[in-house]
């Protein structure tokens, strides 16, 4: 087990470093200059541009920039954002909670609801309910997230005024408001962005779960269990579902990095102060340090979640051995 873990960790680190190196190089090969961009429509003198280039280290050869970057990462210093002129770590720290809240809610609801509905569909294969759920979920899946976000924000937020149309909290509540009131306020702001993402992603989880359940439900041991008089609930959840959950573990492992970057458009439409919109702006602004910071976070999550998925397999399935 220890050896396996060490080997997987080394593999993960190598993958991670290769990905970061590629991103670092490709970003600098792309046209567009991060300092020149700051000029925008307010002209800066060539001297000012040169000073800023020096300050942010983009006047150095790419090899030296890379060495400085790696040295910084080793010290836990991801550099200073060119756009915000603040440490990247501080920016990531500020935006991470909102991202975890939105992404975590989406994953939680998506997987609980998606798996439940997928199981239900498998149980009722070919029924009207199965067909209806398939049609509805695929319709949600087919809708572009930004379009759905715009429609929900306009309909529920602007037209009906049932829920806030944008933001994470009501600034007029004040920092001194009771925590329960603030929690309710955040929950209200969370509904529309989370609902948008859930609606466009639920179909995938449902289809995965439905397919996996159908595979298991036709196996002989399920027939045996039913013949022995085991209740349908137990057959479904104890005997069938436990063996149909493994594809979902893989899916969850792939989903986790989307916590960081998977909701760029939705974050923009709902003015959600998360990492997705920060990453998108960093890419557009050629804010190399910030973009690398987000990449480290999402890359780390991807590698980490893949490792966790392997461990989860071993824990859930006695046939899998970590060797």
Partner 1 sequence: MIRSAPPPPALLLLALLAAAPASAQRPASSIVIVTGGEPSMPVPTLMEGPQNQVANFEVADHLFLRLANLGPGLVTAGDRGFVPMLARSWSRRDSVTLVFELDPRAHWHDGAPVTARDVLFAFARARDAAIAPKLATLTQHIAKVEADGDHRVIIRFTHPYAEQLYDATWHVAPLPAHLLAQLPPDQVAGSPFLERPIGDGPYRWVRRVPGEFIELAADTTFFLGRPGIDRVIIRSAADPDARLNLLLSGQADAMDNVPPPLSNLQRVAADPDVRLVRVPSPTLGFLLFNQRARRDSTRPHPILADADVRRALVLALDRQVLVQAVLGEYGEVPFGPASPVLWIRHGAGAPLRQDRSAATRLLAARGWADHDGDGVLDRNGVPLALSLSYPGSSAIRRAMAQLIQEQYRQLGVRVDLAQFEFPVYLERRDAGDFDIDFSSTTQDPSPSGLTQSWTCAGGTNRAHYCDTAVDSLITRAIAGQGDTRTLWRQVLQRIEQGAPAAFIYAPTYVYAVNRRYRDVTIRPESSWISLWRWSVGPVASPQTAGY
Site for partner 1 in 101-120 (CB under 8 A): 108-109, 112-113, 116, 119-120
- 136, 163, 316, 320: residue in contact with partner 1 (rule CB under 8 A): 163
**Which region holds residue 286: left if phi is over 0, alpha if psi is between -120 and 50, else beta?**
left
CB 280 within 8 A of CB 264: yes
Structure token pair of residue 15: 């993958």
As measured in angstroms, the least distance from the Cβ of 2 to partner 1 is 37
- Vertex 241: Cα angle to 262 and 303 (nearest 5): 35
Residues 238-297 contacting partner 1, CB under 8 A:
268-271, 273-274, 277-278, 281, 284-286
Quick check: 308 binds partner 1 (CB under 8 A)? no
Quick check: 168 binds partner 1 (CB under 8 A)? yes
**Pick from 40, 79, 59: which is nearest to 287 by CA?**
79
Structure token pair of residue 113: 């609801």
Residues 211-240 contacting partner 1, CB under 8 A:
231-233, 236-237
253 burial class (0-12, 13-18, 19+ CB within 10 angstroms)?
Answer: buried
Quick check: 26 binds partner 1 (CB under 8 A)? no
Closer of 32 and 71 to partner 1 (Cβ): 32
d(CA 53, CA 63): 16
Secondary element (H or E) of residue 98: helix 88-123
Q: Which stretch binds partner 1 (CB under 8 A): 39-47, 70-78, 252-260, 314-322?
A: 39-47
- 7, 64, 67, 124: residue in contact with partner 1 (rule CB under 8 A): 124
- 3, 29, 47, 128: residue in contact with partner 1 (rule CB under 8 A): 47
Residues 59-98 contacting partner 1, CB under 8 A:
82-86, 91, 94-95, 98
Quick check: 19 binds partner 1 (CB under 8 A)? no
């Amino acid at each position: 087990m220890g050896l396996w873990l060490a080997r997987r960790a080394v593999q993960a680190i190598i993958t991670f470093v290769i990905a970061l190196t590629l991103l670092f190089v490709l970003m600098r090969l792309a046209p567009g200059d991060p300092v020149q961009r700051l000029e925008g429509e307010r002209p800066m003198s060539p001297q000012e541009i040169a000073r800023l280039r020096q300050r942010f280290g983009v006047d150095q050869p790419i090899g030296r920039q890379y060495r400085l970057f790696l040295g910084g990462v080793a010290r836990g210093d991801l550099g200073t954002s060119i756009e915000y002129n603040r440490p990247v770590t501080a920016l990531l720290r500020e935006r991470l909670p909102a991202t975890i809240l939105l992404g975590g809610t989406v994953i939680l609801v998506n997987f609980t609801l998606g798996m439940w509905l997928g199981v239900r569909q498998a149980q009722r294969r070919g029924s009207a309910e199965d067909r209806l759920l398939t049609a509805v979920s695929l319709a949600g899946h087919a809708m572009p997230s930004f379009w759905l976000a715009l429609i929900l924000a306009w309909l529920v937020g602007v037209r009906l005024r049932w829920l806030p149309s944008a933001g994470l909290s009501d600034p007029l509540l004040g920092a001194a408001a009771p925590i329960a009131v603030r929690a309710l306020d955040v929950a209200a702001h969370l509904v529309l962005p989370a609902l948008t993402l859930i609606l466009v992603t639920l179909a995938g989880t449902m289809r995965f779960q439905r397919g996996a359940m159908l595979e298991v439900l036709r196996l002989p041991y399920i027939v045996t269990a039913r013949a022995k008089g085991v209740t349908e609930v137990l057959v479904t959840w104890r005997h069938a579902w436990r063996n149909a959950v493994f594809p979902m573990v893989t899916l969850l492992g792939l989903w986790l990095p989307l916590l960081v970057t998977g909701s760029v458009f939705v974050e923009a439409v709902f003015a959600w102060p998360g990492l997705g919109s920060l990453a998108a702006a960093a890419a557009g602004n050629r804010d190399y340090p910030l973009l690398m910071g987000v990449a480290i976070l999402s890359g780390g999550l991807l590698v980490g979640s893949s490792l966790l998925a392997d461990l989860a397999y071993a824990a859930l399935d006695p046939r899998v051995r970590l060797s």
